Amino acid sequence: MIRNIFRLGALLMLIITIASCEKVIKLDLQAANRQVVIEGTLANTQTPVVRISMSKTFEESNDFVGLTGATVAIKVNNGNTYGLTPTAAGVYETNAFTGMPDSSYSLTITVNGQTFTSTSIMPKSVTLDTITINEVGFGNNKNKTVYPSYKDPFGKGNSYRLINYINGKQEKFIYVQNDELTDGRTVTRPLINRDNNIKSGDLVTTQLLCIDQPVYTYWFSLSESSTGENQSATPANPVSNIEGGALGYFSAYAVSQKTIVVP
Amino acid sequence: MVFEKKSHLVLFLIGLLFSQTNLLAQNRFTISGIIKSKKTGETIIGASLRVLETNTGATSNEYGFYSLSLVKGIYSIEVTSIGKMSDTLKIDVTNNISQNIFLSDESKELATVVVRSTRNIGRSIAGTQTGVEKLSVSDIKNIPVLLGEKDVLKTIQLLPGIKSAGDGNAGFFVRGGTSDQNQILLDEANVYNASHLLGFFSTFNSDAIKDITVYKGGMPAQYGGRLSSVLDIKMNDGNNQNYNVSGGVGLISAKLNVEGPIQKGVSSFLVTGRRTYVDMFLKGSKDTSIKNSRLYFYDLNMKLNYELGKRDKLYLSGYFGRDILGFGKQFSIGWGNGTGTLRWNHIFNGRLFANTSLIYSNYDYKIQITSGANDFNIFSQIRDWNLKQDYQYSINSKNNFRFGWSSTYHVVRPGEITGSETSSVTTQKQQERYSLESGLYASNTYKANAKLSVTYGARLTAFNVLGKGDFYNIDNDGKVLDTTSYASGKVVKTYLNVEPRIAIGYQFNNTSSVKGSFVRNVQNMHLISNSTSSNPTDKWVSSSNLIKPEISDQYSIGYYKNLYNNSVELTVESYYKQMQNITDYRDGADVFTNNAIETALLYGKGRAYGVEMMLKKKTGKFTGWASYTLSKTERFINGINKNQWYNARQDRTHDIALVGMYQLNNKWNLSANWIFYTGDAITFPNGKYSVGGQTVYYYTNRNGYRMPSYHRLDLGATVQLKNKKKYSSELAFSLYNAYGRENAYTITFRDNKDDPTKTEALRTALFRWIPSISFNFKIK
Q: What is the mean pLDDT of residues A178-198?
A: 86
Q: Could you give the dihedral angle defined by the CA atoms of residues A191, A164, B759 and A109, in that order, rounded to the nearest 10 degrees?
A: 120
B window 680-739, beta carbon within 8 A of A: 683-700, 702, 705
CA distance A247 to B132: 49
Q: Write out pLDDT tens, residues B378-396.
A: 899 999 999 999 999 988 8
Number of C-beta neighbours around residue A124 at 10 A = 11
Rounded Cα–Cα distance for residues B706 and B429 (Å):
41
Interchain contact A217–B (C-beta under 8 A): yes
Chain-chain contact of A238 with B696 (C-beta, under 8 angstroms) = yes
CA dihedral over B57, B58, B64, B70, signed as positive or negative? negative
Q: Which among B198, B372, B750 is the nearest to A228, CB-wise?
A: B750
What tens digit of pLDDT does each residue of B550-601 get?
999 999 999 999 998 888 999 999 999 999 999 888 877 776 666 788 888 8
Strands (E), B308-398: 312-327, 331-349, 352-369, 376-394
* Residue A236 C-alpha, separation from nearest chain B C-alpha, in angstroms: 6
Beta strands across the sheet bearing A141-151: A128-138, A141-151, A186-187
User: Between these two residues, B7 and B680, which has the higher pLDDT value?
Assistant: B680
User: Is the pLDDT higher at B535 or at B431?
Assistant: B431
Whether A183 has its CB under 8 Å from any CB of chain B: the answer is yes
pTM passes above 0.95: no
Cβ contact, residue pair A235, B685, below 8 Å: yes
Element holding B711 (H helix, E strand)? strand B710-723
Q: What is the DSSP string of chain A?
A: -HHHHHHHHHHHHHHHH---EEEEE---PPPPPP-EEEEEEEETTEEEEEEEEE-B-TTS-----BPPS-EEEEEETTS-EEEEEEEETTEEE--S----TT-EEEEEEEETTEEEEEEEEPPPP--EEEEEEEEEEETTEEEEEEEEEEEPPSSS--EEEEEEEETTEEP---EEEESTTTTTSEE---B--TT----TT-EEEEEEEEE-HHHHHHHHHHHHHTSSS--SS-------SEETS-EEEEEEEEEEEEEEE--
List residues bridging with B186 in a β-sheet. B189, B233
How far, in Å, CA of B453 to CA of B56, rounded? 12
Distance of residue A22 Cα from the nearest chain B Cα, in angstroms: 4
What pLDDT, in 10s, does the model give residues B696-740? Answer: 999 998 999 999 999 999 999 999 998 888 899 999 999 999 999
Residues A61-114 pLDDT 10s: 988 889 999 999 999 998 899 999 999 999 999 999 999 999 999 999 999 999
Distance CA B472, CA B483 (A): 5
- Considering only alpha carbons, which residue of chain B is nearest residue A232? B531
Q: What's the mean pLDDT when you consider all of chain B? A: 88
The predicted pLDDT at position B141 comes to 82
| Residues B116/B619, Cβ–Cβ less than 8 Å | yes
- Measured CA to CA, the distance from residue B178 to residue B168 in angstroms comes to 17
The pLDDT > 70 percentage for chain B reads 92
CB contact under 8 Å between A30 and B749, yes or no, is: no
pLDDT higher than 50, residue B20: no
For residue B658, pLDDT over 90 is answered with yes
A55 shares contact with chain B (CB less than 8 Å):
yes
Q: How many CB atoms lie within 10 A of CB B286?
A: 8
Q: Prior bond to B468 cis, omega within 30?
A: yes
Question: CA A219, A224, A226 angle in degrees (round to 5)?
Answer: 80
Identify the bridge partners of residue B552 per DSSP, sorted by sequence position: B521, B579
- Say if A7 is an interface residue toward chain B (CB within 8 Å): no
Say how far apart CA B716 and CA B718 lie, in whole Å. Answer: 7
Interface check for B372 against chain A (CB to CB < 8 A): the answer is yes
Q: How far apart are CA B144 and CA B718, in angstroms?
A: 10
The pLDDT value recorded for residue B672 is: 94
**pLDDT of B649 strictly over 60:** yes
- Cα B411 to chain centroid distance, Å, stands at 22
Question: B295 Cβ partners below 8 Å, 6+ apart?
Answer: A13, A16, A17, B278, B279, B282, B324, B325, B326
Mutate one of A180, A220, A221, A243 to test the B interface: name it (highest B CB count within 10 A): A180
| Type of residue found at B25 | A
- B757 closest CB neighbour out of A35, A61, A217: A61
Amino acid at B269: F
Is residue B398 a contact partner of residue B382, using CB atoms and an 8 Å limit? no
8 A C-beta contact, residue B721 and residue B733: no
User: Which of A13, A174, A229 lies at the smallest CB-CB distance from B750?
Assistant: A229
ipTM comes to: 0.93
pLDDT score for B25: 46
Torsion sign over Cα B143, B198, A224, B597: positive
Q: Which of A178, A184, A248 has its CB closest to that of B426?
A: A184
Q: What is the pLDDT of residue B534?
A: 67
* Helix, strand, or coil (residue B578): strand
Contacts of A113 (CB under 8 A, 6+ apart): none
Residues in chain B: 780
Query: pLDDT-derived band of residue B117, with 50, 70 and 90 as boundaries?
Result: very low
Integer Cα distance of A18 and B278 in angstroms: 11
Cβ contact B528:B537 at 8 Å: no
Radius of gyration of chain B (CA): 27
How far does the CA of residue A17 sit from the closest CA of chain B (Å)? Answer: 8
Q: Do A13 and B698 touch (CB under 8 A)?
A: no
> DSSP string spanning B112-169?
HHSPPP-TT-SS-SSSS--SEEEE-HHHHHHS--GGG---HHHHGGGSTTEEESSTT-
Predicted local confidence at residue B115, as pLDDT: 38
Nearest-Å Rg of the Cα atoms of chain A is 20
Percent of chain A residues topping a pLDDT of 70: 89
Residue A262 CA to residue A256 CA, distance in Å, equals 19
pLDDT of residue B429: 87
Which residues lie below 8 Å from residue A123, measured CB to CB, with a gap of 6+? A101, A102, A158, A159, A210, A211, A212, A253, A254
Give A-chain residues touching B693 at CB under 8 angstroms: 170, 172
Could you write out the DSSP letters of every residue in B256-319? EEEEEEEETTTEEEEEEEEEE-HHHHHHT-SSHHHHT-EEEEEEEEEEEEEE-SSSEEEEEEEE
DSSP secondary structure code for residue B709 in this structure: P
Q: How far is A163 from chain B (nearest CA, A)?
A: 9
pLDDT band at residue B766 using 50, 70 and 90 as cut-offs: confident
CA angle at residue A74 from A72 to A78, to 5 degrees?
145
User: B310-347: per-residue pLDDT in tens?
Assistant: 899 999 999 999 998 887 777 888 999 999 999 999 99
